Amino acid sequence: MTSNVQRQKIIILDFGSQTTQLIARRLRELDTFCEILPYNKFPAADPDVIGVILAARAGHLLRRTVHEPCAGRQG
């Protein structure tokens, strides 16, 4: 039997955080589906995405270099 139920999910954009896996595990413990993606692989127009978490190292907050997600760029 195939289910047509769409699954809502949280995207975690990984900017190099050491706690990305821990964040994902905590979300899954709350029965929330989540997906970890590199910061530059943000999916375009996914209606199932209900939230985004930006996971970065503390040092990234102090740098002047800006990482920009590329909407819709897969691969």
**Where in the chain are the domains?**
9-61
Hey, what are 69's tokens? Answer: 């997600």
Residue bearing the bigger pLDDT, 58 or 71: 58
CB atoms within 10 A of CB 72: 11
State the residue for tokens 């589906």.
33
pLDDT at 11: 94
* Whole-angstrom distance, CA of residue 23 vs CA of residue 1: 32
Q: Is 43 in a helix, a strand, or coil?
A: coil
pLDDT at 72: 55
pLDDT surpassing 60 at residue 60: no
pLDDT at 14: 92
**pLDDT, mean of residues 11-33:** 93
